[in-house]
Structure 1
Amino acid sequence: MGDSFWLKYPLPSGFWLSTTSILLSSLTFILAIIAAKRDKQSMLKFWMGSTVVLGGLFIYFQFKGYNQLINGGIHPINNHIIVTDGRYGDYYELKYKGDFIEVDGNEFKISGKEMSEKDFAAFQNYMKQFSSTKKREALTVSNNDKNFEIYFNNQPLIVKNKHLYLNDSTQLEYVDEMRLTFLAMNVEDKRGDFFVRGEFGKDFHVYYKGKELEYKNRRLHYKGKELPNYLQIKATETADSATSFLYLISIIHLLHILFALIYLLKVTIYSFSGRFNSNNNLSLRLGAIFWHFLGVLWIYLLLFLVFIH
């Protein structure tokens, strides 16, 4: 990890299911070779067909794993650990029914209690109107829900002619509206202080110099002490390199599997045509060696991701 910040989280279930699939496919490939050596053509066809299906399931579950990562706020590109643009409380805060909404990690709270699903849905619905803005065009307030009140730099904003004003005569500047847009996007995506969804210290962990950090009062702490400001800033600027590495090596391996599966389909077609038997199974065995290699390689990568990532 070196002198940097790293994000750690459990691998998605899709990756474990894909691992099961490729292990079983190696077993069925072995059984197919045994069937060929014994001239049991029906069993050869069954086991080779099973191998192709399991190979396809490996690919399916890999993509399911990627989808689980993305749904958890873990993206392959433009990925950071800590939210910077549109971070709640930096410029904007909101009141809901007279009480300020607060952020603690990824939880949105009111009076120290997490917002109910109904209240948070209302919050998302209200902020949705600010989630997109046209260049150099002022934001339009189409949903003037009186339950919500927007504060900018500790001052309540005024809604006038469907636009946001600092006071009766000063309209909110474009750059500040963009900050509100980023905040709205974060709220819509259920993003508090972190891009990854879940509870800090439970669903995901952040490390610095190989040591797990704590998060208190929206500040990172290292060995029981709050990190100095320059490291707090460094953390916000740090890209999630661990996740980029995870996507890179797993996708490269997946491409190898895709090409191998094409060859496997060819071998399976040959097995259904009766080409393989006790006297002719060399290409079948060579294909199995390559398939087993890819399976072992995936297991190695998985263990690397679990224990090193």
Structure 2
Amino acid sequence: MRAFLFPGQGSQSVGMGATLAEASRTARDVFEEVDEALGQKLSQLMREGPEDQLTLTENAQPAIMANALAVFRALTLDGGVSLEKAAHFVAGHSLGEYSALSAAHAFDLSTTAKLLKLRGQAMQAAVPVGQGAMAALLGADVEKARAIAEAAAEGEVCTVANDNDPSQVVISGHRTAIERAVAIAKDMGAKRAVLLPVSAPFHCPLMQPAADRMAEALAGTQIEAPVVPVYANVTAAPEQDPDAIRDLLVHQVTGMVRWRESIAGMAATGVEEFVELGGKVLGPMIKRIAPDVKVTSVITIDDIEALAKEIA
């Protein structure tokens, strides 16, 4: 069994997708369709930068999706790989869940781009710059991370945002609370705590205004049943019901990304190979969760052709 996975924020870099676009008309079509949907030259920003503009949440989110789906479409349309035959599940980390849903035909590409642009804008606007923060706790599992977050909160928001793998958990909330957590983390058993270079505190209750905006946007969005089940971030369980998917995407804005449980759940059902499309950030996490599975990263045209040949 195989699962296709899609990366989340932090996997962006200037130059992303440029070589693939040169090699594949299908990939270029994806970038052009996203540009048209957003009314901006996002593909040029991806190709040329500047990096500070690409890193802005409202640009990074659709850019990461566009790159991943350019890889996916080159694999399926040029490589002749059928998603339904090749993968038993799809999943994505945070914004990658939208990429996964689009790959599985729940949303069309244009809709996905517009939703992610709005999601990025709404998440950025939810908390004034400088008031929120996120930190990675290394060498800490989710229980230890929760204890650190609770000890640091002191009446402010400080909560687990991403349960990435058994040794990496991300916390999110008010900046002062996150700074307290970083200060006490080592004494409470974490190996290291690192403030993350993000512009807002994602996946915590401070994101409620963004969740409200996404609820409004998703209420007016047609969602089809995905052709293969999508593992949802907030439940760590497979889902195909459009109404449930709509609700889960709203909850995802403030809820914890249960990535460790999602990967473990898929592995427990028999998934032996995880294919990351458009990035290399998820592979190391997967190997720490399920050491015996095969992890394949697909980014270049050579990667795409090799995987297509293997699956065919």
TM-score (norm 2): 0.27
Structure having the higher Rg: 1
Higher relative contact order (CA 8 A, sep 6+): 1
